Structure 1
Amino acid sequence: MIPLMRELKLNAEWKVFTAPDSFFEISKKMHNALQGNMEIHFSDEEISAYLSQAKSTYKQIQPQGDFIIIHDPQPCPVIKFEEKRKGRWLWRCHIDTMNPNPQAWSLISEYLPLYDALVFTKKEYVQKGINNLIFPITPSIDPFSDKNRDLGDDHAKEIIEKFVPLDKPLITQVSRFDPWKDPLGVIDVYRIVKETIPIRLVLIGSLAHDDPEGEEWLEKVRNYATGDPDIYIFTNLDGVADLEVNAFQRMSDIILQKSIKEGFGMTVTEALWKKTPVIGGNVGGIKLQIEDGKNGYLVNSVEEAAEKALFLLKNPNLSRKMGNMGHEKVKNEFLLIKHVENYLDLFLSLSK
């Protein structure tokens, strides 16, 4: 989005802060708590570290401009360290906060009134008692990036066959190795479908420095797969990067996104753009993208996901029709140009 804004002669910058590994343990807990994990509790020491990092972040990024957008809970308190505020400050939340852990919500909610406006993916994510200006804005994809640009079927097949044979139908899920993405449930779906139709399952996830749970959940997924030769599990460390993800999303018969919670679900957008039907969890931002029965299916259980997968595999013409409709949905609503337009409208509104 930054390059496109610059093309429009906006002096846009993207700033990133650094933090010790211990902070990312806290920020992952914060993410999970805000998404609804009620068992999480933050100690006084963790709260102190959280606020201390916010002060460090403020010093690192030195925020200034007509519009300052702070993303997600990790740096949310930085606004308290700005003594002489200039410009308009916005907090952008990418998480499904429909039912947050009360302690986690209280840790950020005291800073939200300091912001001029809040941006959520869905209005339903806004908690009661928030009186700020609220702007619902969805994320977007860049159709010209390596992950989303057109590859052509032959090139895509050539890429995939370096990793997986294409002699059976392919079901793929691309997401972090994370309990909210329900990768074990995805394997259960595959096992039910395989009883009727020979298929292969691919699970692709990126291991990120700020996601300390990733390695742990990757190991859980590998153990749950129990050496099934038709289950393939890849990470970015296996050479599966943006171009490879593009190929898998493009050539898979079905993309699963069986999330239990999902702020938006960019992998759903990416797959729909590539005309691949998606079966997604009936939650959060996935419901903004999938029109049930039209460009994919929304499901509430393993059994329902397996039923829809079998139906699509047995009805390839309908599957192609759904894929085409998914592409149009993304073209009209979730491309980068629309995202920038929404922010320009927001800036204009705050300037009046």
Structure 2
Amino acid sequence: MLQHVAVGHKNLADYTHIVGRQLVEEIRSLADGLEGKRVLHLSATAFGGGVAEILYTLVPLMSDVGLHCEWHVMLGREEFYNVTKRLHNALQGSPDAPTPEEWEIYDHYNRLNAEQLADGWDVVVVHDPQPAGVRNYVPEKAKRWIWQCHIDLSEPNRSALERLLPLVRDYDAAVFHLDRYVPEELRARPGRPVHISPPAIDPLSPKNMRLSPEDAAFVCEQFGLDVDRPLMCQVSRFDPWKDPIGVIDAYRQVRAEMPAVQLALVGSMATDDPEGWEFYNRTVAYADGDPDIHILNNLNNVGAIEVNAFQSQADVLVQKSIREGFGLTVSEGLWKARPMVAGNVGGIPLQVIDGRTGFLVSTPEECAERSLRILRDPELGRRLGLAGKEHVRANFLTPRLLRDWLRIFKQA
């Protein structure tokens, strides 16, 4: 059932000119004594979403500093992903929690994947709720188990959380993006620490490397965008929590004041998100054939370079989430030195400091007003963009995340 993910090779030294020699030397020092430790990352998908984005860089960098690090993806059928999507939504506050029959499906696939897990690991890091039940079946296959939760548990559906807690309570440690996401039940575990570590982006990946303005413009033109007209852009999954409908509402209000504006909604369809196509189609229907609303995904040949180009070319980047664990697309956009207008939820305020690195909003009306301010004042957009890039450089690049994990392993 488990699938090994090939991640290639990365060299920590290549990041020195971006993050500084001091951080790189600190990482090398922390890695002393961890050489040869067998570390496994276990997640639900190798494609689409922030966890996969993180692991494609974090795993090879862990290997580069001396760990024996691998990444495996659990496999399941559509019935499993239907359940885990409902669980994900419930843990973020949806009233629609999995039924007892659906929990049986969840347990069945976790058991099947657990049986396929090799033993002899020093640490297994289990990402998010989908594979959280694996440890329950084979705790002896690793010396230490760590559960990382990448979603916002601050206002969960209590029945879903109470069903999940027995599966994660016995992990040796837990990792969350923000302190307020940590359930009280996981704080009160003597000898089982909770660590706070926000995620990070890879500045050298195709999605985040620097594109020349000419290259970014060329790519955007291939998808029908007029690079001589203002562009608003949101990059995210097609998911109600990302509120693309609200983004269209904001765009329409901006367009009433500035008729030349265009909107690009760009996303990828993840293998563990069965609701994605349904919400994608709903978004297309809501756009109502507007030729200046460009709704694109990976099946339109939109990959990492294309996303980079859209973000680099945008006059305003939007991430109007109504619930968000962290929102790596915010850091990605800020890294391109573009002004960001984003939802005042979850981990976004860690990245967007209102009025300094972007604007925080709660409604389509606020999103439209802040977007218009930027579009009418390019110098304001430039200042916000430059401040945002430096904020990401200092806080949200992968070497800092690697340092966090080495500190966690030192305690494990």
Same fold by TM (over 0.5)?
A: yes
Map 1:20-59 → 2, pairs under 5 A: 20-38=77-95, 40-59=96-115
Give the % identical residues. 43
2:219 to 159, 166, 169: 159
Cα shift at 1:83 = 4.7
Question: Within the alignment, does 1:112 sit opposite 2:168 as a pair?
Answer: yes
Unaligned 5+ segments in structure 2 are: 1-57
TM-score norm. by structure 1 comes to 0.97
Rounded to whole Å, the distance in 1 between the matches of 2:113 and 2:203 is 32
Rounded to whole Å, the distance in 1 between the matches of 2:275 and 2:253 is 28
Matched residue type, 1:160: C
Rounded to whole Å, the distance in 2 between the matches of 1:92 and 1:64 is 20
Instruction: Show the counterpart of 2:66.
Output: 9
Rounded to whole Å, the distance in 1 between the matches of 2:102 and 2:68 is 36
Q: 1:203 to 1:83 in 2, by over 3 A?
A: closer
- The one-character-per-residue Cα deviations of 1:99-153 (angstroms, maximum 9, x if unpaired) are 1111211121012221111000101001122224110111111111110111111
Instruction: Show the counterpart of 1:89.
Output: 145
Question: Within the alignment, does 1:265 sit opposite 2:327 as a pair?
Answer: yes
Cα shift at 1:250 = 0.7
Rounded to whole Å, the distance in 2 between the matches of 1:98 and 1:232 is 34
2:238 to 156, 160, 177: 177
Rounded to whole Å, the distance in 1 between the matches of 2:122 and 2:306 is 39
Cα shift at 1:61 = 2.8
Q: 1:307 to 1:63 in 2, by over 3 A?
A: farther
Map 1:62-73 → 2, pairs under 5 A: 62=118, 64-73=120-129
SS in 1 for 2:174: strand
Cα shift at 1:165 = 1.5
Cα shift at 1:5 = 0.9
SS in 1 for 2:345: coil
Whether the 8 Å contact between 2:119 and 2:142 is mirrored in structure 1 is no
Whether the 8 Å contact between 1:15 and 1:61 is mirrored in structure 2 is no
Rounded to whole Å, the distance in 1 between the matches of 2:119 and 2:285 is 45
Root mean square deviation, CA, Å? 1.1
Instruction: Show the counterpart of 1:187.
Output: 248
* Higher mean C-alpha displacement, 45-54 vs 124-133: 124-133
Question: Within the alignment, does 1:146 sit opposite 2:180 as a pair?
Answer: no
* Higher mean C-alpha displacement, 55-64 vs 285-294: 55-64
Whether the 8 Å contact between 2:62 and 2:402 is mirrored in structure 1 is yes
Cα shift at 1:288 = 1.0
Whether the 8 Å contact between 2:232 and 2:261 is mirrored in structure 1 is yes
SS in 2 for 1:308: helix
Instruction: Show the counterpart of 1:293.
Output: 355
Map 1:235-274 → 2, pairs under 5 A: 235-274=297-336
Whether the 8 Å contact between 2:176 and 2:194 is mirrored in structure 1 is yes
Question: Within the alignment, does 1:324 sit opposite 2:380 as a pair?
Answer: no
Cα shift at 1:85 = 5.6
- The one-character-per-residue Cα deviations of 1:205-244 (angstroms, maximum 9, x if unpaired) are 1112211111111111111111111111101100111100
SS in 1 for 2:264: strand
Rounded to whole Å, the distance in 1 between the matches of 2:139 and 2:362 is 48
Instruction: Show the counterpart of 2:135.
Output: 79
Matched residue type, 2:222: K
Rounded to whole Å, the distance in 2 between the matches of 1:212 and 1:31 is 12
The number of residue pairs the alignment matches comes to 349
TM-score norm. by structure 2 comes to 0.83
Whether the 8 Å contact between 1:67 and 1:87 is mirrored in structure 2 is yes
Rounded to whole Å, the distance in 1 between the matches of 2:81 and 2:119 is 22
Rounded to whole Å, the distance in 1 between the matches of 2:270 and 2:169 is 31
Whether the 8 Å contact between 1:17 and 1:61 is mirrored in structure 2 is no
* Higher mean C-alpha displacement, 62-71 vs 21-30: 62-71
